[in-house]
Each structure stands twice: as C-alpha cells, then as structure tokens.
Structure 1
Amino acid sequence: MKKLALLLFLLNVSFLFAQKEISGVVKDNTGNALIGVNIIEKGTQNGVSTDIDGAYKIKVKEGATLVFSYVGFSKLEKAATDAVINVVLSEEGGQNLDEVVVTGTRTAPRSNTTTALPIDVLSSKDLTSTGQASFDKALQYKIPSFNTVQTPVNDATSLLDPYEIRNMGPSRTLILINGKRKNLSSLLYVQTSPGRGETGADISAIPTDAIERVEILRDGASAQYGSDAIAGVMNIILKKNTNGGSVTVRSGMTSEGDGEMLGVSLNNGSTVGEKGFVNYTVDFSKVNLANRPGKVDAEGDFNDFVKINPAAYGSYINKDNTLGGTDITGMTEAQKEATFSSYQGSADYNAKFATINQGNIAGRQAVDDFLKEKPDGGNINGSPETASAKFLVNGGFELSDETQLYYNAAYVYKKVNSFANYRTPYWRSIKNPFENASISDWSTSEAYPTYLKDFFGNGTAASYKGYVPTFTGDLNDYNATLGYKSTKNDWNTDASITVGGNTQTYTVENSQNRSGLTDPITGQNIYQENSPITFKPGGTSFNHVVGNLDISKVLSDKISIGFGSEFRTETFEVTEGDKVSWEGMGADSFAGNRPENSGKWNRYNLGAYFDLAYDVTEDFLINGTVRYEDYSDFGGATVWKLSSRYKFLDDKVTLRGSISTGFRAPTLHQIYTQKSQYSFVPGEGIQVSGIINNVSPQARQLGIDRLDAEKSTNITIGIGAKPMKNFNFTIDYYNIKVEDRIVLGDIVPTTFGDVAWFENSFDSRTSGLDVVANYNNIELGTGKLGFNLSGNITFQNERISPVKSNNFSATLDALMFTSRPETKWILGANYEVGKFGFSLNNTYFGKSTFKQAGLDSNLRTEFTPKIVTDLGITFSATDKLTLALNVNNLLNVLPEWKFKAENAAGTAILADPAQVKNQSNLITFNQRYSQMTYDGYHFSQLGTMFNLSLNYKF
C-alpha cells in the first residue's frame, strides 16, 4: 500500500512538473518596456504577448525553448530553464526576416527566414506613425503594392473606398482577423471608378489602436484559406495587453482650413481571474467636409444643358414627324439631311430659328449669371463629412493547462454625409426656347417648373438657385469569433465559429421626384409639385456565419501536417426603398431600390484542406497544400499550392518560391444586384441607366450566362537576405493569371433599355516585382538613424484573351488595368535621439493612364509621377505622455494630368486649343472635377494635412 501511495505521489509530482510557468519582462536596449512582443513555445502554437509594461506569463513544457520576436527587433531564443526570464531585444528596424508569422502556413508558425512565402509585417507603431486617420490609408503609405484613394464622386462609395493589392481589385484580397475570415461589405462598387463591379471587406472600420500587428501575405493562398485569396491575404492580429492601457487624442485639418478631424481612442486590458485576459478598444472620431471643386466652364455647360443647335432637326422640330411640312416618317438619315437642306432658308425656318437663337442668347446669359455667383457650379467634391464609433474586444482564458477558450468581437457605426452634383437652374428648364418665344428671360418662373421655387427657394422666381441633393449613409459593421484551442499529445486543435455582417441604409434629402406621373382618377400630378424632398431609397446588407476546424501537429523535426474544414453560409439582401424613391424616375440623384430588384438571397459552401510541410534539411523546406470547396450555387473547385525555401551562407540568404492554383467565387452582390443608377454621361449630363442580374428573365432573353468562379494560377519567386546585422532586403517576382475574370461591363442599348451586366468576360495576367530593404542602427551623434526602401513595379497588367461580349470599353480597360500607379516606391528615414523621434517618408506614385468615358479614342490621359513627402515628429515628454505631430504631404503636392496622343490624329487634336478644351470638358464634367477628372484617381486631392496626437499611458 505504501508503495502504491509512493507511486501515485511520484506520478503526481511528474504531472505537476510536466508544465511550468515562466514570467518576465521584455525591454529594448534603452530600458523601455516593449508592448506586444510575441513569445511562442518553439514548435507549437502556444504563445502570449507582452502587456503595456512589457510583462508576460506563459506555461510551457519541461525542456521548452521560448522564441521572442517583435517587428523591428532581432528574434531571440531562450531555454525555459528558469521561472523568471527577463529579455532585452536589440533593435533591427524595418521588416525583420526573423519575425515569427502565423499567416501563410497551416502547420506550425515560422519566421520570415523559414517561411517559403513573402510576408510583410507591420506593427501598431508602424501604422500610427503615418499620421493617417484610418487603417486603410495607413497601409497606402506603408505597403507599395497596396493602393486605395478617396473618390471625388461619392454617393454610397463615400462609406468605404475600394482598395487592392497588386492591381487585382478589392474582391481578390482575403481579410482575416486573428486568422478568421472577416465579412464582406454589402456595398457593390458600380461607379465608373477603380474597383468597379467588386466588393471587399471594410478594413477602414477596424480601429488602428486595437491592432498589434498586420501580416500581409503577398501570394495566392486560395488553397490555404479559400475563395478571395487570389492576390493575397491580410491577417490583422489584435492586441492582447493586460496591464494598463492608453488613451490617444487626435486632431487635424488640411492646409485649406477644412477637413477638420477630432478623435479619441482608448485601448486597455486586464487579466480575468487567474487564467484569462481581455483587451478592448473604444474609438470615436469626426472628420469634417473637405471641398475641392473645380471652376465650371460656362461654354461647356451652356452647350450641354441649354444650347439648341440650329442645325438640328431631331426632337426639337419633328414633333409631328414633319419637317417644313414634309412627312419624314421612315426616311433614312441621309434623306432627312437632304430634306433639312431644302428646308433651310424658308420663312418657317427663319421664324423658328430666330426664336431658337433668341432663347440661346438668353440661356447663355442665365448660365453666366449663375456661374458668376457660383463659379464652382455649387458642386461639393472631395472628402465627405464622416463620423464613426468603433468598439472592439479581444480576450480568452485557459480552461486547463491544455485547453483555451478565446473570443473577439467588434462593432462599428459610421455615418457619412456627401453630396450629388449640384442641379443648376438651367438643368431643369421647363421647355426648349423655340417652343415658347416669351422665354427671353431665364430668371422668370416661365423658364422652370413652377414648384421648384417653392421647394428650393422662398416662393419667388428670383430665389430659385437650383439645388444639391444630399446623400447620407448609415453603416453598421460587426464581427465576432468564439473559439476553442487544445493541445493534446502534441496535436493542436482549433475549433471556432465566426459571425459577421455589414448593413448600409441610405437617405436622400434636398431632392425631388420629377416624374410626370398622373393619378388616373384625379388627373393630377403624383409627383413634381406633390413630391417629397426627403427619400428613403433602401439599402443593402450582407452577413455570414463561418465554422472552422483546424488541426496540426509537428510529427518530427522534419514533418509537420495540418488539415481542417470550413463551413460558411452567406446572405445578401437588398432592402426596398419607399415607393416615392423609386417610382417613375425616382429620387433625383439616387433612385431607390424597386420591389422587383429587392430581396434576400443565400448560399453555403463547405471546404476542406490538407497541408504538409517537409524540412528536407534544416535549410531546405517543401510545403504543399490541397483544398476542395463546394458551393451550393455553382459547384465545386479543387486547388493546390506548392512552395519551397532554401537557406544558405549561414542563413544569410534565403531563396523561396511557390506555384499555386486558386479560385474566387462570384459574390452574391455580383449575382443578384439589379438596379437603376444615375451617372454622368459626357456631353449629356446626368442620365439614368440600369444593371440587370444574371439570373433575371431579362438576362435569359439576352442570352447572358450565369456567373462561374474565377480561376487563377500564381507563381512567385523571391530572395531574402540579411548580409549583416543591421541590413536586410527581400525581392519577390510574381505572376498571376486569372481566367474567366468577372467584370461589370459597359452600359449598352438593349430591348430592355440601356443596361450593363456581370459576366465571366476574359482572362488577364498581372506580373511585377516587390522590393523591401532596411538599413538601421546607424549611429549619428547620440541617436540612431535608420533607412527603409520598399517598392512595387508592375511589368504586365492586361487582358490576354478576347472579351466574351462587346461591352468592355477602353474606359473599363483603363480602370481595371492602368488606373493604379504602374510603380510605387516608399523611401523612409527615421532618427531617434533622446526623447525625440523624427521620420521622413517619401512616397513615389508612378504614372497612371486613363481612357475616360467620352474621351476621343485617339487620346489618353496620364497622371504624371509625383512624390508625396510626410514628416513625423514624436516627443516623449514623460514615460507616460507622448506627443506626435504629422505633416502629411508636406510640400502640398497635388495630382496633375495631361493629354497624350495615341497617333497622328490625336496629335492633330492636341494642336487645336478648342478641341483640347472640349475634350477636357468632356472628362471633367465641364471642369467640375478638373483636378482628378470624373473617372480618374491617383492619390489624395486634399493637399497638405496637419495631424497632432497626444498619447497617455496609465
């Protein structure tokens, strides 16, 4: 009995000592605590992060090795022999090749030196140092292959801006939060702008202060993560700090005195009981309107909206299908021209066109008078007013020594106020002048619908100055994950469920429904003078539920495996607008969702993958993944990936490469969206057109096929080197072929009116080079200087197959393939001395080329290369208080564009100032968008911006 008791005691002691708790503090070489340092038990997924005081606590097995890593610092390994291990990390700066990453592998985490894939790692410090107000704009000035810009033509696009990696559009970059898929936005971009026809996750909704680091995998990863990962994966890792927190107050404005910004953010964390933690962020911000309208060209506006050409014979004269008493019904255009020629000079002709000329003179005067008062035509272009509230929590607790429950949740509310194009008085004339000779004075009530002076004036004709419809968008975005991790017998299991959604509702004010519909009983107008001026045009929503099961194990020092499955269900809904918002012409500027275009649609998919990593030697790694997914609406897809890495010269040089296939399922937005929209048509002003979806009766009658998945082939070859302690660089070549690319085509005339539709239209190829280099810890005086250079060069980005239907214009081709800079470079320098830190970053935006709608086919437009300089200064007043000043676009560099000739005919156009002016008016809406053009974008049009922030740690 005593022997049995002794045996049980020894087993108990053995079990107690099977795991041990290690604690300590991590600091830099100046003695400052480092927040968010990753500490991982080597060869496992067991890890923690340091809190605000640099402290950590972790339970590990006997004989374990701890790996300490932090962006900008050298990785350090320590044997877990003592209960307290304090660590000092030496600063390397920039992208560290030894940084441990969890993205891009389904087996054990690896460092950048041992991974076979190109991965950028940005810390929270990197993001906040840009001085940018939102997460997506911070990435714009940190990652060369990442591009986003605020569009000057807003509407629903004002709620979130399209972004992309490697010119592939927002739909082809998968966004993860702590390794779990984030929901898509419910917004589908339908404007003629970059990202047209696509949707993406709203990354601007994520509060920057909640982010510990961002890992960006610049490689196709559909085999590892599923649909949408053709261009790459962005994994946002949330903070886990548990001791103390900080509050940040931000303010700013542009050099023009507008765009004022004020924000406050709180990040804090604490332990929960003995085995849990929670970290939370609360962020409130308000950004005022920044307006950058152009000066309207009076002649252009007169020609587009007022002038009646005396040489015209169309609808202005042929009211009864006669011309000078001659029946022209059934005549060819040539016969009509001949009849018109014989009609010229007659008394009837002279009388009619004398009236037309009289009206033209009066109309031109009306245009001049209005633009004298409002040179910008009343337009409000630029950055809209935005208010947002963001809440995020990240936490977990240990159920036992081998099991853990984790969770995170976020909710974001955003309200945006923007404006449609100003409806000038002469846009809304009641009749053409030749029909009413008394209209010789456009300031009288005879010139406009009588009710307009009551709606948008004080009841007198002189008070009516036109109107500008306003657009208000309310956005709600949420996501939450609950998961369970366990490690038993060296098997790592991760089971989780994720929910997420995005809802947008719209309000249009200061508008009207100008439809000429009449009540069949009373014969009175339903709208026009009886129209409301506020409309609820409906909205959209998207949500998903995702279940994940991931299992991995390090089988030996050479082989690691991972496998798992994912179930996802998605729902997309278009909410019907009020009847007054869609009936007839609908609300002017933004018609509501019609009942037949509204509804709710759902699908689900099931996926499974297997991943095998084989370390042939300590230096040579081979990694393979295969995945199968099956969608309820279009079937299945099998994709694979093979990657490899080889290190040599004492790990100073790493060769890496991968080849993979991928897919992207069409989004529910692309399958089911059907709507009417207002858009600018060069030379014709604002017109209404439509989109029909691929499952509609109209699509069947037009012979339009249903959408299928895009398929891709990705090749990446790269080298990473760390020839000396303070210098490292990576160079990666990529080549991406996308087959059956899904695009929203041009609007074309059909039996159902002027419409556009989605289709698997063609194949494309994108190739280029990514470069990242860092040289740091250069002693200068009593401080340290560091340099970083990163760049992206596009070699090829073009269509490589015929277009399926003849509805893909040069405009759409340019927006998809040449609208982003063909090269982009970021050169930065930082210097830290005493309590001060200085940073100077120069971002080079290369040439962008456009073929705007309405532009002569013999011309193109090019945005000239520009360098935007950002200056940052930080002052650590105390250990707890830090002040930061950022001057973005220090030299007030603004976008510039110019015409380029495609051939001799284009050269002739450019030699004629009158034709140049006409072409310029066509693509800038008569100079309303003179800085950016109506369709073209390069970088921010707001000029210099000043930002001041105060951070207090407690």
Structure 2
Amino acid sequence: MIAGLLLACLNSYAQHVVKGKVSDNTGAPIPGVSVFEKGTSRGATTDAAGAFQLEAGNANAVIVFRVLGYATQEVSLNGKNTLNVSLVSESTAIQGVEVVGSRSLNRSVTQTPVPIDIIPVAKITNSVGQLDLNQLMQFVAPSFNSNRQTGSDGADHIDPATLRGLGPDQTLVLINGKRRHQSSLVNLYGTRGRGNTGTDLNTIPAAAIERIEILRDGAAAQYGSDAIAGVINIVLKSSTDGLTTNINGGITSKGDGENVGLNANYGFKIGEGGFINVTTDYLYRGRTNRAEDPAKVGEDNVPRRFYGDAMMENYAAMYNARIPIAEKAEIYSFGGYNQRHGNAYAFTRYAGDDRNIPSIYPNGFDPQIISDIGDRSISVGVRGVMKGWNVDFNNTYGINRFHYYVDHTLNASLLEQSPTRFDAGGFQLSQNTAGLHFTRFFENVLPKGTNIAFGTEFRTENYRIFAGEEGSWKAYGAYDLVPNDNGGIDTVYKAAGSQGFPGFQPANMVDESRTNLGVYADGEFNFSSNFMIGAAGRYERYNDFGSTINGKLSMRYEISPALAFRGSISTGFRAPSLAQIYFNTTYTNVVRGEVIENLLTRNQSNITRVLGVEPLKQEKAVNASLGLTSRPAPGLSITVDGYYVKIKDRIVLTGDFTADNAPEIAPDLDKLNVSVVKFFTNALDTKTLGLDAIVTWNKRFSGGHDFTATLAANFNDLETGDIKTSAKLASRKDIYFSDRERSFLVASAPPSKINLTLDYRYGKFNTNLRFVRFDRIRLQNYDLVYDIYDARIVTDLSVGYQIIPAVTWVVGASNLFNVYPTRHNATLTDSGGIYEPLQMGFNGTYFFSRLSFRF
C-alpha cells in the first residue's frame, strides 16, 4: 500500500504542465490545432486565440502539433513550461517554392485572396486505388474533371482533363512553379475537350510528388497563356530521409483491367542544405472490355467487339535537386523521362464489311491503334538573394512525341496484298522557356508590408507532323462492281489507308515554330494584418498573332480569426496552340475513278481562305470570384467561393462540310478536288457560373483516435452563345458547331460533383471511406436524341495497417457497389459502346492492394 502511494506521488510529480500559443508565419493565431504528447493519449486543442494547455507525462516529452493545411511539427519540451510554436503552411514547407497564385514567399495558402486546394499526394496515394495522376485527382478534387476515353484515337492514350468545366488547354500546369510543356496531341474524335490540346499529367509519376496546388481562379495576368480556368502547380519531393517503395496491384470484378505498379523514391543530402530526390515508376494497365456480345444481339447492333480501357505500359523517372553554391545562392534542377506504350481497339470491321478482305480476316477484324509516346523535360536555374531581392533565373525545356502504329488492320485498296501492320506517322511538340524573376518583401512599406515581384519570360515552341509509310494512307484503286437499285452496276472503290487510323501523308507534314515574350509585374499590399490588396499585370507578344495585355485585382479582408472574405477580378487570354493552327490530316476516297480528299485542314490553308475563315486569334476571358473562409470552431474549416468566367472566341473544331450539306460551297470544293472539309475556328462565346465549397472537420479524440471528414463540392452552369461563322457559311451554323457538339461541351462542365471523405486513424490502423456523386448529364446521340446519364454515387473504401514501422499494407475497393452508368444504344453513341466515357468510368468494381516499404 505504501509502495502504491509512493508510486502515485511519483507519477503525479512527473507530470509536466505546459502552456503556449500556436500561430502561423505572420503571427496570426491558429485555432483548432491538435496538440498531444507523442505516443500517448494526452492531448489538447488550441482555442480561438491559438492558446493551449497540456499536462505532459514528463519534462522531456515530445509534443506534436497537427492541423489540416499546415506541416505537422514535433517539439521536445526539454523542461520548458511555455511553448510557443509557429506552424508552416503545407504549401510553403519546401524552401524556395512559391504558393501558386501568390509570388509572396511570406504568404501561406490560408492568407491568399484566391481559392487554392492543397492535395498532399504522398498521403492520399496510401489510401486510394487510383494509380495515375489524372484519375487520382478526378476522385479527390471536385473542380477537376477527367474522362478516360475509348474509341477516340489518341485520346485513348492520354486522358483529357479540365478545371471548372473549361477546356483542357485552358488550365496551365506548372512543376515547382515553372511552366510545363503541353502534349503534342490535339483531341479530335469522341472526346471531352474536342479540338483542344492539353498537358499530359500522367507523364508525372505520383510517387515523385509531395503535393499539388490547384489555383481555382483565372491567372493569365500572373502566369500567361492557358491560365484562364486556373493553375495546377505540382511540387516534387525534396525529402532526404531514405528509400520509399510501393508495390501496387489490382483487378476489376470482371477479371480484367489488371493493374501492376512498382515505384521507388530515394533522397539524399548534398553538402550543407543540398539534396537530390529521385523517383522511378513502372505502371501496367490491362484492357477492359464492356462491349455487348455480338452473338446475343447481332452484329448490326454492336459497333465494337472490344469496348473499354486501352492497354497501357508506362515507364517514368523524375528527379528534383538543389545544391548551395554560396551562403545565399543555389543551383536547382528537376526533370523527367516518360515512355508510354499503348494499345487501343478501334471500331470493329465485321466479315461482311466492304472495308474487310475476307481472305485476310475471315471473321472480320478489330484494328488496334498503337502509340509510342515519349516525353522528356529538364529545368535548370540559379536563385539567391541580391541586395535584398530574391532573384531566380531559370530555363525549362520539354518535348512530347506521339508516334502511331496500326496493327491487325489492312488497306482494303491493296486487296490480298495488304500488310496487316502500318507505321502511321505522328507529331511532336517542343517548348523552351527562359525566365528571370525578382521578388522582395518590404516590411516597412504600409503597416504590414508590401511584396513586389516582376520579371520576364521568353518562350519558343516547335510543332511537327511526320508522315507514315505509304500504305497507311494511299488509295491504290481496287474496286468492286455492285448492282444498284436501278438495275445497273456501280463501281465501288475500296477504302484507302490503314483501317482504324489512316496515316499522315507527306502533304500533311508540318515543321512550324513561334516565339513569345512576356513581361509581368505583381504587387501585394498589406494595409493591416486584416486587409490586403493584390494587383498584377502582364504583357505578352507572340510573333504569329500579336500582343495582349491583361490585369488582375484581388483582395482579402479578415473580420476575425474565424472569418475572412476574398475576391478577385481579372482578364485573361489563351493563345491558339500550334497544333490548332497547323494540325491537318487527310482521308482519301476514290469516287468514279477520281481520287477525292477528305480534309481536316489547317486553319490557314487554301480551302479555308476560299471559305472566308479568319486566322485563329486568342481566346479572351473575364474572370470574377468572391468567397469566404471561416474557422467557426476548433478543427472546423469552411471555404465557399463563387465564380464567373466569360470566354470570347473559343476555338472549336467544326463539323464536316460537303457539297450535299452546304451546296453554296460546292463549286469551291469541286475546284479544290475536296469532298469533305473541317477546320479549327474561333466560333463560340461561353459563360460559366459556378460555386466551390469545402468543409473540413478534424478531431483528435482521447485515446489517440484521429478523425477527419471533408465535404467538397463543385457546382457549374455553362452557357454557350451564338455561333460565329464565316460569311459563306452563315446559314450552316448547325454544321459549324452542332447541338450534338454543344452537348459534349456542356457535359465537360457537369452541373455538380460532390465528394465526402471520411478518414479514421488509430495507432497502426487507418481506414478511408469516400463517396463521390457524379451529376446527371445529357449527350445527344447520332439520332439527335438526348441520351440521359443519371446521377450516380461511387463508393471507395480502403483499410490500412502498419505491419512493422517500415512496412504498411493497404487493401480496398474502388466503386465498391459496382455502379455503372445508364445504358444506351451502342449504335447511336459516339464511342460505339452502351455507355459513353463518363467521369465515373464504366468498368465497375476495382479491387486493389498496396505494400509500402520505408527504409
């Protein structure tokens, strides 16, 4: 009994009371921070003033500070009774990397006047089944939309992605704050973002990424062309704490679509404060097939025997490095290598099809479009402090090359002599950007300081199309004699070129370049600790279409630590891509013995000049946003942001013009020996009105139970204006941009997407439950009737366990309840399947498992 009393007294004496305050880098208090002793259940939460009091087990305990949006910090007491801590925002935790949307190095994400999402990729990938970056973001960020395509040529191999429902090329992508080159692919057939180019996010392995910052606001005045919808900044890992490897595997409930992923990340120090972090990544994705069985419904009702995801094999490597060269200067570099091999099925040619040669394919054939996509990038820079200014000089180069092959196919005009595999040619885009940037924070200008930034960038771009082998495109003149309805005989010529994907001809070859010079200035003025105004302006000149000036004003006003308002208004622009200006391809037909061309012609060709089509010009935008941020209670965070985006002169790809549907241009087509023509043009004005809302609540319960709930939603309403045509085609607006194409454009901005994520952690155990509601959309089919795809809720679940400190195992299911889109008639859909490619996907349940090792 005496011993028990003595032990109780010793325990009581050992307890150590500690008080303190938690603030951000400006000194503002942070409420709702979980403060607890490491390895115990003893904890507290900061109040509205950021204050806390905690009884620790002993005077040398380690205290952990954790709250959403800031880097977790651990501090040893070392006998202290008072502990004041300043937390670093997760978006500024890596030295030298700006928060996207602000060039101030002193501003955290919670203090910016525009909405920014921070996605900690390194954490999220441990609890979700998606392995590639596009699909991972699709299910995490409500304003981000990506459709995995099928039957869409090159888009089967590169997923088009959008922000706030705008075009894939209206979102600028940065890596470590530097402009990322775009893909060389222009989306053409059956895709969201038809007629757009975009950035291939899947060339960047998720294992190399620390976090992703999504600026949901127009930023062309800050970052230049392509930032109408916003900016995605990918921040690479800079850790030097050893080796991390992951082994991923998964398969659908139908036994196809197998995924195998292997990646490794290793970082080590170089000198004092330097590092290099390297990632290697391999990902294999098997095909899925959700086509109906022709034997059950008949060939006439099944355009494709294979309908589903393409096979994909992806090899990637990235590095991120920084080496100090002086006390206040360093050299930095990052870059990557990506090689992708894809194989996608095109529409079926059945045995009796005129495009089939039965002696080669007695049962018909399914052409396979094969892609070899190479992507390379390197960025090198020097930054440091010079006379109080942060100076950054950088050069970034990137190139994307897309090479097509077509297998299990034929050129019907060669009859039995046709090969079954062709080199179909392809295209490539390279981009080099050199920039010089200056930033400085003046503490004594205005009550709370002023940040000034200015700089210049010079960019060169080159776009090429290279031809395929002759047999992939040429018409060789073979024909059949077919009885007609009048009792006579018609001569029907065999289809030319490789079936599934005709090759590029020598006449399509392009090698075009352009230059761009940009100059910007940016200021943020802190009139008090509660009120700031930002202003930015940018001048750009392109050598091929001229100059543009854009500006932006923003503000943030904090009424109290629990409530702040923010807003912005800006003008923006997007220069037409080189692919939109120069892309062209030719399909050859033989009519009555005469070779006739079907053209997707370049914007300024002979035929477009004859038709009076104007040269492509920049898309112009006006953006406005207004929102609030609130922390009404400990652990509870609310942001609501409304936005309006008006875009003038959007670039679209027209429909097919022929002598039959546009007889007024029949003489022009006949003179040029053209039967069908389409082209890119500035034909459309759009308005988008939307709302983003994010509510997050996190709580650490007694006993060490951590719980986080996040409700995130995006609401969109896209309106399209009148169609602007050339004078010769003024009566053909239905072909220039049809109601059917309009439905696909509007579907890129679905009315809403709502995401509820519940995350629970206790000791070595964690679980993640996610519900994503995809709203109803309407797509016009080939009968000009609207197919309705009803709203669906997709449920994802994962469970993880730390087997030993160095090994974690996660198992789970995406689309747990096997939810599919609404079924429709496959002969009338754009993709030739019973479902169109939708955001939610059409593969059903996917089971996955992941083993992670950390050494």
When the two structures are superposed, what TM-score results if normalisation uses the length of structure 2? Answer: 0.82
Decide whether the 8 Å contact of 2:216 with 2:229 is kept in 1: yes
- Contact 2:150/2:310 (<8 A) preserved: no
Indicate which of 713, 719, 725 corresponds to 1:791: 713
Partner of residue 378 from structure 2, selected from 480, 483, 500: 480
**Alignment partner of 1:855 is 2:783:** yes
Aligned to 1:285: 283
Whether 2:654 is the aligned partner of 1:745: answer yes
Q: Distance between the aligned counterparts of 1:596 and 1:272, measured in 2?
A: 52
- CA contact 2:150–2:344 (8 Å) conserved in 1: no
Q: Is 1:634 the equivalent of 2:525?
A: no
Per-residue deviation, residues 478-499 of structure 1 (Å, max 9, x unmatched) = 1111011011232100110000
Match of 1:811 in 2: 740
**Residues 1:393 and 2:319 aligned together:** yes
Kept in 2, the 8 Å contact 1:101–1:111? The answer is no
Q: Which residue of 2 aligns with 1:199?
A: 197
Q: Is the 8 A contact 1:241 1:279 kept in 2?
A: yes
The structure 1 residue matched to 2:608, chosen from 690, 699, 706, is 699
| Aligned residue among 782, 792, 795 for 1:866 | 792
Deviations 1:258-306, CA, capped at 9 Å, x for gaps: 111111100000012334210000001211111111244988855xxxx
2:368 corresponding residue in structure 1: 470
Q: For structure 1, which runs of at least 5 residues remain unmatched after alignment?
A: 1-26, 33-67, 303-374, 430-447, 457-463, 516-526, 680-686, 899-919
Shift of 1:134: 0.5
Q: Does 1:617 align with 2:557?
A: no
Q: State the match for 2:663 in structure 1.
A: none
Change (3 A) 1:718 1:473: same
User: What secondary structure, in the 3-state scheme, does the structure 2 residue paired with 1:224 have?
Assistant: helix
Q: Secondary structure at the match of 2:416?
A: helix
Any gaps of 5 or more consecutive residues in structure 2?
1-33, 40-64, 476-495, 590-595, 660-668, 727-732
> Aligned pair 1:945/2:846, yes or no?
yes
1:418 and 2:344 correspond: yes
CA–CA separation in structure 2 for the residues paired with 1:152 and 1:89: 50
Inter-partner Cα distance in structure 1 for 2:812 and 2:92: 22
Matches within 5 A, 1:549-698: 549-556=436-443, 557-584=448-475, 585-649=496-560, 651-676=561-586, 689-698=598-607
Which has the larger helix fraction? 1
Query: Which amino acid is 2:228 matched to?
Result: I
Distance 1:93 1:223, change over 3 A: closer
**CA displacement 1:750-775 (0-9 Å, x = unmatched):** 51222211111121101100000101
Q: Is the 1:395–1:406 contact (alpha carbons within 8 Å) kept by the matching residues of 2?
A: yes
Q: Distance in 2 between matches of 1:826 and 1:699?
A: 46
The residue number in structure 1 matching 2:183 is 185
Q: How many residues of Structure 1 are paired with residues of Structure 2 in the alignment?
A: 742
Q: 1:217 aligns with which of 215, 218, 226?
A: 215
Q: Counterpart of 1:755?
A: 677
Deviation at 1:226, TM superposition (A): 0.2
* Aligned twin of 1:503: 401
- Say whether the 8 Å CA contact 1:762–1:804 is kept in structure 2: no
- Within 2, Cα distance between the matches of 1:166 and 1:382? 26
CA distance in 2, matches of 1:278, 1:267: 11
1:491 aligns to 2:389 (yes or no): yes
State the shift of 1:471 in Å: 1.4
Amino acid at match of 1:502: N
Q: What are the residue-to-residue correspondences of 1:327-366 with 2, within 5 Å? A: none
Letter in 2 for 1:851: Q
* Structure showing greater Rg: 1
Deviation sequence 1:566-600 (CA, Å, 0-9, x none): 10000010011111111122111111111111121
- Does 2:317 align with 1:408? no
- Counterpart-to-counterpart distance in 1, 2:850 and 2:456: 44
Is residue 2:840 matched to residue 1:930?
no
* TM superposition shift of 1:88: 8.6
Q: For residue 831 of structure 1, report the CA deviation from its aligned partner.
A: 1.0
2:257 pairs, out of 253, 256, 259, with 259
Q: Which segment drifts farther, 119-128 or 410-419?
A: 119-128
Tell me the residue number matched to 1:732.
Answer: 641
Cα gap change, 1:282/1:942 in structure 2, threshold over 3 Å: closer, same or farther?
Answer: same
Partner of 2:617: 708
1:381 Cα deviation (Å)?
A: 1.1
- C-alpha change, 1:94 and 1:828, in structure 2 (3 Å) is farther
Give distance in 2, aligned partners of 1:630 and 1:409: 27
User: 1: CA distance between counterparts of 2:392 and 2:89?
Assistant: 33
Q: Is the 8 A contact 2:565 2:629 kept in 1?
A: yes
The answer on whether the counterparts of 1:296 and 1:928 sit within 8 Å (CA) in structure 2 is no
Q: Aligned residues: percent identity?
A: 33
The superposition leaves residues 709-765 of structure 1 with CA deviations (integer Å, 9 ceiling, x where unpaired) of 000000000000011220001000000000111111111215122221111112110
Q: CA deviation at 1:424?
A: 0.4
The 3-state SS of whatever aligns with 1:156 is: helix
User: What root-mean-square deviation, in Å, do the aligned CA atoms of Structure 1 and Structure 2 show?
Assistant: 3.1
In structure 1, the partner of 2:241 is 243
| CA deviation profile, 1:815-855 (whole Å, cap 9, x unmatched) | 11134421000011111122110110000001111112x22
Measured in 2, the distance between the counterparts of 1:938 and 1:617 equals: 44
In structure 1, the residue matched to 2:492 is none
Could you list the per-position Cα deviations for residues 396-428 of structure 1 after superposition, in whole angstroms to 9, with x for gaps in the alignment?
Answer: 111111101100010001101111112101113
Partners of 2:351 and 2:199 in 1: CA distance: 40
Cα distance in 2, alignment partners of residues 692 and 139 from structure 1: 35
Q: 1:845 to 1:780 in 2, by over 3 A?
A: farther
Which has the larger share of strand? 2
Give, as a single letter, the amino acid of the residue that structure 2 aligns with 1:947: F
Q: Does the 8 Å contact 1:689/1:747 carry over to 2? A: no
Checking the alignment, whether the CA contact within 8 Å between 1:513 and 1:528 is kept in structure 2 is: yes
Give the Cα–Cα distance (whole angstroms) in 1 for the partners of residues 245 and 296 of structure 2.
Answer: 51
